[in-house]
Each structure stands twice: as C-alpha cells, then as structure tokens.
C-alpha cells in the first residue's frame, strides 16, 4: 500500500513510529507537511499539490493534525477523502472531537458518563452556573485549550467567580466542570483502535498539580482497566466516529466519566509505559479496513 501521514514534523516520535511500522510491514509511506499541501477545489477532478507537484496514487492517509491547525488540516484531509483515499480518521470525526462542547453534547446524548458540565455566555449567570456543577472546588476549561493549557481549578466560589468574569470579559469560550476529587489527580488514557482498547495507562499529576498530562510533568504507569471502563472508551470513540482515539477517563464515585476524546493521541507515553507496538496495530487496522472510496462522508460532511 501507499500511505501518507499528514504531520507538521517528520521527527516527532508518533510520526516516526508510524513510518517505521508501515515500512516494516512492506508499505510505501510518505510524510506530508499539512500546511504545505494545497488544493485544486473548483475542478471536475479534485487534486492536492505539494511543494510544486501533484500528489497521486495514495491508498490511505493517517492524519496527525495539531489542534492549532484543525481547520486547515481538516480541509486537506477532506480533499484526500474526495479523491477516494481511505482516512484512518475522517475529517468530520476529527472536527467533531476537537470541538470540546459539541463532543460532550454528543457523548451525553448517547448516555456516556461525563462530569457535570456547564456552559454560559452572560456574567449574570455565573452564580447559578457554579451551583449547577456542585459548587467549588470546580474546574474551568478554555474550549480551545490543549495538553492541559487553559485549565484552571478554583478552590472557592469567589475564585471561580473572578476567573469566570475574567475569561468572559476576554470573550473566551469556557466551560465549567465538577471537580472529581476521588480521582486523586489521576486519569486513565485508553488507546482505542477499531472496536478495542489496545493499551491503557494511568497518568498521575505531580505533587501540587491537578492536571495529569505528561506534558505538564505527570507520570505514567500500567493499569488494569475494568470492563465498564473498556466499554466506555470504545463507545466514546464510536460516538465521535473515530477509528483511532485516545480516550481520557476519570474514576468517579458514579463510575467512569469521559474527560476528552483525542483524535491524534501521542504514541510515546503509551508505547513506553505498556510496551505495546501501538504503531504496528494502527497499520494493521488500516490493512484490514482499507478500501478505495471508503468514507462515510465522501468529503461532504
């Protein structure tokens, strides 16, 4: 097969591992800088050009689109879909998962466990918004934040009011969530491929920190997840329409709750913690499921 990887940096661990895994299995694979791909849209034959040449003949594409370039990256991926290339994750599913509010609304509609979450526009509604999620302590999140950036824990209602007023004054889109104290600053990253959790790790926040992201100094360890946690992770990925996803779960008193569904999960932490060949399993998934023109959206969604 001829496979493309959409990635800004060929030297990133996840991109390198996918290239290695595909090459080991006898595939031809090429890394394409997302922002250097450009499109001929208004023609009878959709095409993509890259550094002065037309890209042709790809069977499948692996999108590794950073959050800051979601809009352009999804447009490039959509163009590949229109050309009949099989996407590991579809453009519509990636856009859906990147919109934190929309993704939570979709998960809620399907009955997937979530932390109590509030969303409002007017500062006049702040007291009721705080009350809605059970009062302080609570967590405030920027909808555009990634890797724990733009996430604030407020210990008191006064602090929460001040932070919310400040964010609203800056016209930032924010949501408010209950703080799951019993999770103890830990979450579980489940790596879903197809309809299976192929690897899972526990991420523990460092002392004095509540965000467990490895980018924020959190530590990772092996964990045995329950059947309910496994089912929750797979369902969350399916609701988003993602074939490959990193699903972040908290253990709460009322069962597993989903914090986020990531469409481009990093491979370094999960591979080094679990010893699993995650990149190889992703390539195997493409081999089993690849078909020409196999997208539910055909690039139109």
The tens place of each residue's pLDDT in the chain, 301 residues long, gives 999 999 999 999 999 999 999 999 999 999 999 999 999 987 788 899 999 999 999 999 999 999 889 999 999 999 999 999 999 999 999 999 998 899 999 999 999 999 999 998 888 999 999 999 999 899 998 887 565 577 888 999 999 999 999 988 888 888 999 998 888 878 999 999 999 999 999 988 776 555 555 555 577 889 999 999 999 999 999 999 999 999 999 999 989 999 999 999 999 999 999 999 999 999 999 999 988 776 665 433 4
d(CA 286, CA 273): 24
Whether 187 has a binding-site annotation, put simply, is: yes
User: How many other C-beta atoms lie within 10 A of the C-beta of residue 165?
Assistant: 12
Cβ-contact 77, 64 below 8 angstroms: no
Task: Write out the E strands in 51-195.
Answer: 53-55, 60-63, 86-87, 117-118, 138-142, 151-154, 174-178, 186-193
- Asked if residue 248 belongs to a known ligand binding site, the reply is yes
CATH node for 182-284:
3.30.470.20
What the block records as the tokens of 266 is 């990093």
- Cis bond before residue 137 (omega within 30° of 0): yes
End-to-end CA distance of the chain: 26
Query: Any known ligand binding at 212?
Result: yes
Q: Tell me what pLDDT residue 268 has.
A: 93
141 is in an annotated binding site: yes
Q: Please give the model's pTM, rounded to 2 decimal places.
A: 0.88
Instruction: Give the start-to-end residue ranges of the domains of the chain.
Output: 2-96, 117-179, 182-284
The pLDDT, as a whole number, for residue 292 is: 75
| The predicted structure's pLDDT at residue 294 | 66
Cβ 280 vs Cβ 21: under 8 Å? yes
pLDDT of residue 209: 56
Does 124 belong to an annotated binding site?
no
Range list of H helices, 123-203: 126-132, 157-169
CATH superfamily, region 117-179: ATP-grasp fold, A domain (3.30.1490.20)
Consult the annotation and say whether 128 binds a ligand.
no
Q: Is 262 annotated as a binding residue?
A: yes
Q: Is 179 labelled a binding residue? A: yes
Flag whether 268 is marked binding: no
Say which CATH topology domain 2-96 has.
Rossmann fold (3.40.50)
Q: How far apart are CA 27 and CA 1, in angstroms?
A: 5
Whether 99 has a binding-site annotation, put simply, is no
**Comparing 2-96 with 182-284, is the CATH topology the same?**
no
């Amino acid at each position: 097969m001829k496979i493309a990887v959409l990635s800004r940096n060929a030297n990133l661990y996840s991109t390198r591992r996918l290239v290695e895994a595909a090459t080991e299995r006898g595939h031809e694979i090429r890394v394409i800088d997302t922002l250097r791909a450009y499109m001929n849209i208004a023609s009878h034959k959709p095409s993509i050009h890259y550094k002065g040449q037309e890209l042709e003949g790809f069977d499948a594409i692996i999108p590794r689109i950073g959050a800051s370039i979601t809009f352009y990256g999804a447009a490039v991926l959509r163009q590949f879909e229109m050309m009949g290339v099989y996407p590991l994750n579809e453009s519509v599913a990636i856009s859906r998962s990147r919109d934190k509010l929309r993704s939570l609304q979709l998960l809620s509609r399907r009955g997937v466990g979530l932390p109590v979450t509030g969303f409002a526009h007017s500062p006049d509604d702040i007291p009721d918004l705080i009350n809605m999620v059970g009062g302080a302590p609570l967590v405030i999140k920027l909808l555009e934040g990634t890797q724990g950036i733009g996430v604030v824990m407020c210990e008191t209602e006064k602090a929460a009011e001040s932070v919310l007023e400040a964010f609203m004054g800056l016209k930032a889109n924010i949501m408010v969530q209950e703080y799951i104290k019993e999770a103890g600053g830990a979450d579980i990253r489940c790596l879903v491929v197809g309809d299976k959790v192929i690897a899972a790790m526990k991420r523990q926040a460092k002392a004095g920190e509540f965000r467990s992201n490895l980018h924020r100094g959190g530590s990772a360890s092996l964990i045995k997840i329950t059947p309910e946690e496994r089912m929750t992770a797979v369902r969350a990925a399916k609701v988003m329409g993602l074939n490959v996803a990193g699903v972040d779960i908290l253990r709460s008193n009322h069962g597993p709750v989903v914090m986020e569904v990531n469409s481009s999960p990093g491979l370094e932490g999960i591979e080094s913690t679990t010893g699993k060949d995650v990149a190889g399993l992703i390539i195997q998934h493409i081999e089993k499921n690849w078909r020409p023109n196999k997208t539910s959206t055909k690039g139109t969604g």
